[in-house]
Amino acid sequence: MESIVNSENHPGVTIFRDLDEMSVAFFDFLDDEFHKAIVAGRSYHLVLSGGSTPLWLFQKLASLKHLKMNWDFLHLYWGDERCVPPEDPQSNFGNIWSAIIRYIDIPEENVHRIMGENDPDTEASRYAGILKKYPVQENGMPRFDLVLLGVGEDGHTASIFPDALHMLETDEICYTAIHPESGQKRISVSMKVINNAKIIIVLAAGSSKAEILRKVIQKNKKPENLPASFINPSNGTLKWFVDKKAGKKLKHGMSFF
Ligand code: 6PG
């Protein structure tokens, strides 16, 4: 594992040898976060990302089998969802449910899924209503303990796409989006909700992400049309968990330890 220790251009980027090494670090981090919440007797509110990278990590966690614990402190949310029913293979909730939720003893009322089977506009309002009641608010927005994100090759994150940059500034908590290539309807939280979090971890793996990471992570020249370059917690910590293939264009001129 190589970490860039707060290099001025790359704060909080850790480049892992491979997904196995990333998964160990990811679960150690989650373990520590959960332990602190349990010791403090408080709940922990985690926003899950869609896509294959987090899914792989949670499938790996399930294979580690140390899941038998009291999960009633944990609340799960989704940063975005495809407008499909939960049993659809495209469903972010359905995939994470299959990978891990079905193995853990988490109260059903703690799993706050976006209902992709509902009318998109109706569901965006319903989900926004849930997030408005979320117990920890700051800046008029829910302040989650941890938001997990992925990044698309076009620079999208959650379902904030390059052709919908107005969604970076909206005060809407949750809105409907359309995937620019597939036309698939999505429901997504806004960038303001994402950046209100205490901790954001962006997960990226594979050589197809190398170029977009180079563009969105470097501090000096922020591209104005890539949503992922606007991931920037206003009062929190941003971590990039990147495997070696995805990080191969980040190494130039960087300090490692
Ligand atoms: C989704 C995600 C999306 C994803 C990126 C990266 O619903 O697809 O929210 O933003 O995180 O597309 O996906 P991969 O991890 O599969 O590359």
Place of tokens 């850790």: 14
Q: Residue 39 Cα, ligand 1 centroid: separation in angstroms?
A: 33
Provide the pLDDT for residue 252: 56
For 86, phi then psi, to 5°, come to: -60, -25
Q: Taking a C-beta distance cutoff of 8 angstroms, is the pair 249, 233 a contact?
A: no
Ligand 1 neighbourhood includes 12 CB (under 6 angstroms): no
Q: Residue 156 Cα, ligand 1 centroid: separation in angstroms?
A: 8
Atom of ligand 1 nearest to the CA of 53: 15
Q: What is the token pair recorded at 186?
A: 């999505």
Task: Identify the residue whose C-alpha is closest to ligand 1 atom 10.
Answer: 158
Provide the pLDDT for residue 254: 43
Ligand 1 neighbourhood includes 50 CB (under 6 angstroms): yes
Question: Environment class of residue 41 by beta-carbon count within 10 Å: exposed (0-12), middle (13-18) or buried (19+)?
Answer: exposed
How far is residue 128's CA from residue 131's CA, in Å, rounded to a whole number? 5
For 72, phi then psi, to 5°, come to: -75, -5
Ligand 1 neighbourhood includes 14 CB (under 6 angstroms): no
The DSSP string of 27-61 is HHHHHHHHHHHHHHT--EEEEEP-SHHHHHHHHHH
Place of tokens 């989900």: 127
Q: Residue 159 Cα, ligand 1 centroid: separation in angstroms?
A: 8
Contacts of residues 6-9 at CB distance under 8 Å and 24 or more positions apart, as own/partner, are 7/254, 7/255, 8/219, 9/217, 9/218, 9/219, 9/220, 9/253, 9/254
Q: What string of pLDDT tens digits covers the 257 residues of the chain?
A: 665 444 455 568 999 999 999 999 999 999 999 999 999 999 999 999 999 999 999 988 888 766 778 899 999 999 999 999 999 999 999 999 999 999 999 999 999 999 999 999 999 999 999 999 987 899 889 999 999 999 999 999 999 999 988 889 999 999 999 999 999 999 999 999 999 999 999 999 999 999 999 999 876 666 778 999 999 999 999 999 999 999 999 865 443 32
To test ligand 1's pocket by mutation, which of 22, 48, 151 has the most ligand atoms within 8 angstroms of CB? Answer: 151
Distances (CA, A) of 186 to 6, 33, 82, 180, 196: 34, 30, 5, 11, 21
Provide the pLDDT for residue 130: 96
Provide the pLDDT for residue 30: 94
